[in-house]
Structure 1
């Protein structure tokens, strides 16, 4: 499975099969998200959105289930704050 989505470094490890906390993703990173799909090395990529965190996750999971060989990424469309604040969200303290 090549499903990629952001997780903060200090987030607890989710239970097996548990979906991410969408409210937390929206509050910490962005209200709007994109789903990026890379289907090969020849530039056959697409981007879908803007979507809510939940809608982006649902779309990414559905695409990944149908084409697990593709790389599917869920990314924030807008991040309020500075680069230092964004990096601090993901660094271990």
Structure 2
């Protein structure tokens, strides 16, 4: 499994596309692909639900949420507060840095 791309959406969140379909049980593996691109981030909380899992994490002294929703096989990152929203473009550039592959 690989990350095939990142897209900054009008809503301000970053959509994450993977190379193939995935199941909720694979979210730790998928999250690791993201953490490998954000080595300075720190996971604060992990929450499992029936068809969703999310990870709260800190990056650049701001809080973000990495979400996985299995029913639609959607994954995205959103800012937890308005201050983090200003960092979304920087976060996208860091995630999309091809030198980290």
TM-score, L = length of structure 1: 0.30
> Does 1 or 2 have the higher relative contact order (CA < 8 Å, sep 6+)?
1
The structure where strand makes up a greater share of residues is 2
